[in-house]
Structure 1
Amino acid sequence: MCPPDLRPVAALRPEHRDDTRIDPRDDAGGFQPDVSGHGGRAVRPQLARLDGVVPAAGCADEAGRALRGGGQRASGTGRADGSAVGPDGSRTGDSGPRFDRTVPTNGYAWWYVDALSDDGRFGLTIIAFVGSVFSPYYAWARRRGPAEPENHCALNVALYGKRARRWSMTERGRGAIARDEARFAVGPSSLSWNGRELSIDINEVSVPWPLPLRGKVRVVPTALNEVAFTLDAEGRHRWQPIAPCCRVSVDFDHPDLHWRGDGYFDLNHGDAPLERDFQSWQWSRAATRTGTVISYDTVARAGTDKSIALHVDPDARLRRIAPLAESPLRKTLWRVDRSARADAETSVRVVSTLEDAPFYARSHLAARIQGEDVAVMHESLSLDRFQMPIVQAMLPFRMPRRAGWRGQR
């Protein structure tokens, strides 16, 4: 039996919604817009067209209402029956990102944001790392002995869409970062939390072509969750879906890009390298009419595989659900294995492979989940591949290291 709903510490009601849409100068491409037969009007915010007309997602509807409201609404501190959280989820006491959290030697923390535009033409992912888990420099440092995570920090920014595709991930040393509870600065870029929204100021250079990547992203949650889950039997690796339902605004000068859409915000942190304890994982999230459905499947080296399946409503109430049926997907060009969760006896389609690396893939999928046709953001990770010497030797071309910074702190 699935346990009752888990209630968050507080639900946020942001003060307003900015309904500005994407700059018309930007071409569609990469993502296909969802349009009806009447004047090209979008019928659903998602990454790309799904077959048929699909009602608006729950996160989109609820977030829109929240952003037009005002004030802040408390939503309780326990399950409906007042009992403790179930064995796979525990309260952290943190209903925000807490950028000052302690990261132990050889450990890591990363804050992850993804979003897709309301018209389905653009998307992004942003990941801020302390102890960059995919850094070859951090891996090499650990081989020499205990390594300091703050000497291996990075902000990874990926933009998807025609005339807007960019990717950057420059690693910085401890002298080029600053952290406190509400702010994390990495070189010239930073993340700031004011208790209601996350602001990300980006000033990076993309690779492989050295183009400027400058802009601002605002992430406004509909509510916050303080329940975290362990990903391994020993409890060394933890995951907290901080805000599974968000509104996101994207405003870049370089490239010239402006859009609004629905998003997702979470945190992973751990006390040991990922490759020490895991062989691989598959993760996905999908917006539905009633919230967000998340699937997280890990394959552990110790043989204790784990599947976490959640439904999270726009007030950040978590409900454990039975894992959906597993559907194998075609391998990427780099031959990374992929599989996804969806309703039984339904097919899952790869609409687009957004990132294809030797050990990692990010994909946009079309699937049927809880009876709805939905767009799915999906990632596949092979840590066996990541620790191969040839892969480690390739990574610096995509992840340059600049230990210092001319504005050094």
Structure 2
Amino acid sequence: MIGFIGSVFSPWYHWSGRGNPANNCCINVATYGKGGRFAMTDRGEGALRRSADALEVGPSAMRWLGDRLEISINEVSSPPLISRMRGTITVVPEAVTRVELPLTQDGAHVWRPFAPTSRISVDLEAPGWQFEGHGYFDSNFGTRPLEQDFSYWTWGRFPTRDGAACFYDAARRDGTNLDAAIGFDSQGRAKMIDAPAAKPFKRTLWALRRETRADDGFTPRQIKPMLDAPFYSRSVVETQINGEVVQGVHEALDLNRYANPVLKPMLACRVPRRKNWG
């Protein structure tokens, strides 16, 4: 689940000149495995409603209700499995942090890990899509296109015996690198941690290169594919950090590929545009 105001991977936002983020908003939903579906409908400003406790985009919404975030989904998935996606996801943070990480030196891009450790409850209107498990909630903010400031990045979040570890590694366009390793305890307290260097592992079906932190002598490996696009990968990855074998969600993003204008019409097939609320 991702809520976008200024949908950074929307071709419609790119073609609009990015002048009005509110006019390209969406709530992105992806489910994985057999029968998995993907919805990322780009909607206009008339579909957006915001308050201190809620984000509503068309028929879907995210709302803080006391100690939990309730996400109401009512979307239509993209090809090849076109169908209605309805239901509720509830996220209950173990703790909410007060930290954020600038991704560029001028603060044009910021990562805000609200709840590195959470519990989730999923109840979707489809057979087999009701379960509870381990969750996570964060946000990113930016004032410039990602491809303007970065050429490549990877991100990973791995539950550990003490809480969670997050790794943000990126190559910036100015020739500098981001190599952040942050540990979170069960109370949401954050600190920079010593972590091994990034190590490459098997490329995706689109030959997208991937890497994540791993101890010497250990090769990371994909446990489960999630999303696989020409410029982006999301998967469950197993690695070893400071002697502890962990599994978590990993992302790799090639922004040189994303900047290629040939990709934008391809993306439009997966990201339909609805100007109004519906």
Query: What is the TM-score with the length of structure 2 in the denominator?
Result: 0.96
Q: Distance in 1 between matches of 2:216 and 2:135?
A: 26
Residue in 1 aligned with 2:250? 378
Among 211, 220, 243, the alignment partner of 2:83 is 211
Residue in 2 aligned with 1:185? 56
Give secondary structure in 2 for the equivalent of 1:335. Answer: coil
Gaps of 5+ in 2: none
Query: What is the TM-score with the length of structure 1 in the denominator?
Result: 0.66
Residue in 2 aligned with 1:159? 31
1:122-167 deviation per Cα after TM superposition (whole angstroms, max 9, x unaligned)? xxxx00000000011111111xxx610000001111111334x111
Q: Which has the higher strand share?
A: 2
Q: Distance in 2 between matches of 1:373 and 1:367?
A: 6
TM-aligned CA deviation for residue 304 of structure 1:
1.6
TM-aligned CA deviation for residue 368 of structure 1:
1.4
Runs in 1 of length 4+ with deviation above 6 angstroms?
A: none
TM-aligned CA deviation for residue 405 of structure 1:
2.4
Letter in 2 for 1:361: S
Is 1:367 paired with 2:239?
yes
Residue in 2 aligned with 1:201? 72
Is 1:136 paired with 2:11?
yes
Q: Distance in 1 between matches of 2:39 and 2:83?
A: 10
TM-aligned CA deviation for residue 322 of structure 1:
2.2
1:198-244 deviation per Cα after TM superposition (whole angstroms, max 9, x unaligned)? 00000001111211110000000010101111001221000011000
TM-aligned CA deviation for residue 346 of structure 1:
1.4
Q: Distance in 2 between matches of 1:305 and 1:397?
A: 33
Q: Contact (CA 8 Å) 1:213, 1:255: kept in 2 or not?
A: no
Once the two structures are aligned, what percentage of the paired residues are identical? 44
Give secondary structure in 2 for the equivalent of 1:160. Answer: coil
Give secondary structure in 1 for the equivalent of 2:91. Answer: strand
Q: Which has the higher contact order (CA 8 A, sep 6+)?
A: 1
Q: Distance in 2 between matches of 1:180 and 1:248?
A: 23
Q: Distance in 2 between matches of 1:402 and 1:158?
A: 19
Q: Distance in 1 between matches of 2:138 and 2:175?
A: 26
Q: Contact (CA 8 Å) 1:281, 1:299: kept in 2 or not?
A: yes
Q: Distance in 1 between matches of 2:210 and 2:253?
A: 9
Among 43, 60, 65, the alignment partner of 1:172 is 43
Q: Distance in 2 between matches of 1:240 and 1:301?
A: 22
Q: Contact (CA 8 Å) 2:28, 2:41: kept in 1 or not?
A: yes
Residue in 2 aligned with 1:233? 105
Gaps of 5+ in 1: 1-125
Q: Contact (CA 8 Å) 1:177, 1:187: kept in 2 or not?
A: yes
Is 1:389 paired with 2:264?
no
Give secondary structure in 1 for the equivalent of 2:262. Answer: helix
Q: Contact (CA 8 Å) 2:195, 2:241: kept in 1 or not?
A: no
Letter in 1 for 2:171: V
1:57-78 deviation per Cα after TM superposition (whole angstroms, max 9, x unaligned)? xxxxxxxxxxxxxxxxxxxxxx
Q: Distance in 1 between matches of 2:128 and 2:178?
A: 42
Give the root-mean-square deviation of aligned CA atoms: 1.2
TM-aligned CA deviation for residue 324 of structure 1:
2.1
